[in-house]
Amino acid sequence: MSAVDPSCFPADWLLPQWPTPPGVFSLCTTRAGGASEGLFGTTNLSFNVGDEPAHVERNRHLLAQAMQALELQAGRRAEAARPRQPVFVRQVHGSRVQVLGEGNGDELPADASVSDVPGLGCTVMAADCLPVLFCHQQLPVVGAAHSGWRGLLGQDGFGVLESCFAAYAQKVRQQPGHSGLSDAQIAEQTMAWLGPCISQPAFEVGAEVQAAFAGPDPDCAALFAPGKQGKFFANLSGLARHRLQRLGIAQQFGNDGSQDWCTVANPARFFSHRRDGSPAGGTGRFAACIWVA
């Protein structure tokens, strides 16, 4: 985990440490740096949790400015005039994917997005769920997925990560000279970065959740620790890593399941719905964003 240069960004924001190709950038916000107050303080990026809309607008503008600043920091001054836009989707704990640059630009119901359009940032919000970013080793194709346990589980072993990779792979095959690549070949050329999320010691789930994962895929059983009667503690980042590995994406970076990455255990740095939330919202949302310059 690394903090971003404080001369360009709020010092607490995260700059993912992974070998992205030139022209691909990524960023993960924290609570620091924005305009929101109270439980939403200070960089809440969601309009749907009860925060003041004007504060959210300012916070989203801050993220857009940070996107541009990160490019300038990398020396891409010739591109400074092009506006940068983090594109948010309306997350519903499902597996639908939005292809950026298609549609009318509204927040559509989806839990992942993919893009090869310069300046449009695939952006997912979280406050315990796991953001996962996708990047090709060489091509300007990226994706982002919002991964809670429901989205990870999906149906018949096909959840949000599988959906995001399928749409991302289609984008890769649309790049000149790459139409014949198989999913396995694309997976070998793909990297994933896992952001902050709730850690296993804080993530208690029912036996039905454990059975839903481990029943059809016994290898998942090791990612659930027994809790009190009828309960288990789920390793959310571990489940995501397992599903990525099953897709053939072996190059994985970021969240290793340690407490430094835990949203619940770090209240000064991360929002956590499980720690602070309520049915009406109760806490903010941070965001992970990836884009092509």
% pLDDT > 90, the chain: 84
Reading across the β-sheet that carries 120-126, which strands appear in turn?
24-28, 286-292, 120-126, 85-88
Report the run of H or E that residue 30 belongs to, with start and end.
none
On the question of pLDDT at 24 being above 90, the answer is yes
Instruction: Answer yes or no: are the C-beta atoms of 151 and 163 closer than 8 Å.
Output: no
Angle between helices 160-173 and 236-247 (to 10 degrees): 40
Instruction: Report the C-alpha gap between 172 and 190 in whole angstroms.
Output: 10
pLDDT of residue 84: 86
Supply angle C-alpha 243, 248, 254, rounded to 5: 60
Count CB neighbours of 130 within 10 A.
30
Q: Is the pLDDT of residue 57 over 90?
A: yes
Amino acid at 135: C
Q: For residues 267 and 283, what is the distance between their CA atoms, to the nearest angstrom?
A: 11
Q: Is a pLDDT exceeding 60 seen at residue 104?
A: no
Which segments within the chain are labelled E, that is strand? Answer: 24-28, 85-88, 97-99, 112-115, 120-126, 130-136, 142-147, 190-194, 204-206, 224-226, 231-234, 251-254, 286-292
Averaged pLDDT for residues 55-70: 94
- Looking up tokens 């004007």 gives 54
Helices and strands in the chain, H and E counts: 7, 13
pLDDT of residue 105: 57
Instruction: Give residue for tokens 């346990």.
Output: 149
CATH number of 24-199+235-292: 3.40.50.1110, 3.60.140.10, 3.40.710.10, 3.40.50.300? 3.60.140.10
Please report where in the chains the tokens 């891409």 appear, as a residue.
Answer: 76
Q: What is the mean pLDDT of the chain?
A: 92
Q: Is the pLDDT of residue 113 over 70?
A: yes
pLDDT band at 4 (very low <50, low <70, confident <90, very high): very low
- Give domain limits for the chain: 24-199+235-292
